[in-house]
Amino acid sequence: MQATQTTEATTDVKVRVEGVHRRFGWGDRRVDALGPIDLDTADGEFLCVVGPSGCGKSTLLRLLAGLLRPSEGRVAITTDAVNPAAMIFQDYGIYPWKTVRGNVRFGLDVQRVPEAEARRRADQWLDRMGLSDFADAWPDTLSGGMRQRVSIARALAVEPELLLMDEPFAALDAQLRSVLQEELLAVCQAAHCTVVFVTHSLEEAILLGDRVVVMSARPGRIIAERIVPFARPRTAEVRTTADFAELERELWHLLRGEVTRELSEMPAATQPSTNGAVDG
């Protein structure tokens, strides 16, 4: 199948991944990173992707963003926009030479949004993310959590049809992570954008997602998917329910099997010590 990334006429499917493989290198150094992958994401869905380290989760996001091309297969996004997707990275990806407002406005300025409208939308998201008092601050004066808020505000200010998030809260402490999870939950429920969210945290995936897909060890394939059975609007209190705990146990059983298989295939000298914990 020809490797492509295309746009299609409007349907209920926002993103379609068909027969996608991604390889890096050639000959003896070729690495099969991903595939085969077949995956549909519905318009307005919040899809969470979990899997072992190195299974190709981030590669999948970059394929969806158009930053990589498939080695085989096809990625199609249903849109009329030239740049329908915005991406949020774990390391924030904000520009140290721009103020907070300048960072939030960056995508709008690239799109040549008129000055008054760009400022209105930037200020709207600064307010929504609790950053209005820091609009003229420089990124190096902000905490990690505030920098991630800037990154989220910048992505949402351009009103993307597809929001791609690569472990955006992984570097934050547990308390701050919980706060930003709740903020993201509220923002995305209100904005009704389509989200593909990569995470190592099963709790985070269940809290945020409408559906969770589990990827295998490299080369990453989808080995399971589960619908999250909690209605929206959703709050963090859903974590305390028995159904939440049961789904987390089920997903952990699937994921642990893949992590164990990955470790068993590694040379003994390179196997990490887990000390009773598995990096999933």
> For the sheet containing 72-78, what is the strand order?
4-8, 72-78, 13-24, 31-42
Tell me the three state secondary structure of residue 166. Answer: strand
Task: List all residues 6 or more positions away from 1 whose beta carbon is below 8 Å from its beta carbon.
Answer: 18, 19, 72, 73, 74
Domain boundaries, the chain: 92-159
- Residue matched to tokens 């955006």: 168
The pLDDT score that the predictor gives to residue 280 is 38
The pLDDT score that the predictor gives to residue 215 is 93
pLDDT along the chain (280 residues), means of 10: 47 90 87 92 94 89 92 91 81 86 92 91 90 93 88 88 89 82 84 90 94 92 94 89 95 82 60 42
Query: For residues 151-177, b (16+ Cβ closer than 10 Å) or e, as one string?
Result: bbbbbbbbbbbbbbbbbbbeebeeebb
The pLDDT score that the predictor gives to residue 28 is 79
